[in-house]
Amino acid sequence: MAQALQGIPLQAVWSSPLKRARRTAEIIAETLATPPPRHTDLLKEVSLPLWEGMPFSEAEALYPEAFQQWRHDPANLVMRLPQGESTLDFYPIREIYQQATQAWAHLLDQHPGETIVVVAHSAINRALIATALGLGPESFHTLHQSNCNISVLNFTEGWQGPVEVESMNLTSHLGDPLPEIRPNHRGPRMLLVRHGETEWNRQGRFQGQIDVPLNDTGRAQGQKAAGFLHPIRLDAAYTSSMVRPRETAEIILQHHPHLELQPLDDLREISHGEWEGLYKGDIEENYPGLLQQWQAAPETVQMPGGENLEQVWERSVRAWRYLVTSHSQADQVQTVLVVAHDAVNKALLCHVLGLGPEAFWRFKQGNGAVSVIDYPNGVDSQPVLTSANITIHLSGSVLDKTAAGAL
């Protein structure tokens, strides 16, 4: 993992004091020649006092009701602990989310504007990411954390300001391109890809539903995404009906010639209406204040002559549910490629976690990036965001170095 962080200026390494996290942090600090790790109990793993030291099978046998809560209703998982002659009701997942909030406040207060590494554990990491996104304990099983994965979160104004998930649960530095499918998984695995770069992305022009093709960089990104996904068995492939995602999908499918690419109009990019073809400066001049509103409160903006985010959500989720439903009844796990756009992909990532248009800017989507969403038991099961915005195949860095152009 330390090798994947090479070249990133780091000001500090923090870890849980538990041995497994502490040693991981020490290896990172030694390899990257950073100051020695600092430790805080706020990064300790979730406390499950009645189960600790037990195999899952034994915990399930001894505490069947609580184990069902763990699986299906983690926010209400309760452990009744002896307290003298009575018992104390302890809610582990609620507790770890409160701990995560305290951890962020502690860490960010000490490192304003700095880049730090945080080494912790599966449950506390999920709680850290979830609380950064404004999610509560009910979201516990919707985020996946693999051993030695890397996630990148950008806090632009400290703990009280907006947070962007630049990437989540990157594991390709460990050997396999994508995290393993977990045991007993029966539903589809959805691979959500953003199209490669266009010249308008590079220039920062709003393109929306103007059908701008890929540029040379975009085609190269498509080839790199194709190589990255080459080892993955794909069972179906879909694309927005627009040219830039279709070109990207066609490049990826060069390694999967048995598949027929299927277009869906509902996956087309947001219509920016009168903004399309304009630069930010043009928009500010002609629609004063509206661009700032779009950046600060996107859910409140009706694009002049175009769409609002509620409309994008409605059609994107409709298409997504159709795809997940179509691939939920197979005898084996179906891996489905979906190539779309920045706004559409952000809407779908938010939807998977139960977030609405107000969270639109929470997820970064780089050109050629791959995200992974799993449905353990098909369309009616709670989806799991397994990885978000994987771009390491494009630049060799865990940081997203793609163009930050307009939508």
188-223 pLDDT tens trace: 999 999 999 999 999 999 999 999 999 999 999 999
Residue 166's CB: how many other CB atoms inside 10 A?
Answer: 18
Exposure b/e, 101-114, CB count within 10 A at least 16 = b: eebbeebbeeeeee
Nearest to 51 by CA among 64, 38, 37: 64
Q: How would you classify the pairing of strands 189-194 and 335-340?
A: parallel
- Of 334, 281, 270, the C-alpha closest to 304 is 270
Using DSSP's 3-state secondary structure scheme, residue 405 falls into: coil
Residue 98 is predicted with a pLDDT of 98
Is 157 noted as a catalytic residue in this protein? no
**What does the pLDDT look like over 62-92, one tens digit per residue?**
999 999 999 999 999 999 998 888 889 999 9
∠ Cα 313 151 361 (to 5°): 30
- Report d(CA 398, CA 377) in Å as an integer: 31
Among the listed residues 184, 222, 216, 170, the one whose alpha carbon sits nearest the alpha carbon of residue 372:
170
What number of residues does the chain have?
Answer: 407
Are 362 and 163 a contacting pair, CB within 8 Å? yes
Q: How many angstroms separate the CA atoms of 165 and 142, rounded?
A: 15
Residues of the chain with pLDDT under 50: none
DSSP 8: S
Domains in the chain, CATH or no CATH each:
2-46+92-143 (3.40.50.1240), 175-395 (3.40.50.1240)
Whole-number pLDDT of residue 182: 87
How far apart are the C-alpha atoms of 406 and 279, rounded to whole Å?
Answer: 8
Torsion sign (Cα): 100, 105, 109, 114: positive
Tokens at 298, concatenated: 């996107």
Contact between residue 360 and residue 309 where contact means Cβ atoms under 8 Å apart: yes
CA distance linking residue 400 with residue 173, whole number of Å: 15
CA distance 86 to 257: 66
Which of 166, 247, 269, 307 does the annotation list as catalytic?
A: 269
pLDDT at residue number 160: 80
Q: Residues 121, 141, 144, 195: which is the catalytic one?
A: 195
pLDDT tens per residue, range 338-360? 999 999 999 999 999 999 999 99
Q: What is the predicted pLDDT for the residue at 333? A: 95
User: Taking the model in full, what pTM does it have?
Assistant: 0.96
The pLDDT score that the predictor gives to residue 83 is 86
Select from 141, 164, 230, 184 the least CA-distant residue to 366: 164
- What is the widest separation between alpha-carbon atoms in the chain? 73
Cβ atoms of 130 and 97 within 8 Å: the answer is yes
CA angle 397, 354, 310 (to 5 degrees): 95
Residue 68 has a pLDDT of 94
d(CA 254, CA 154): 35
- Of the chain, the end-to-end C-alpha distance in Å amounts to 32
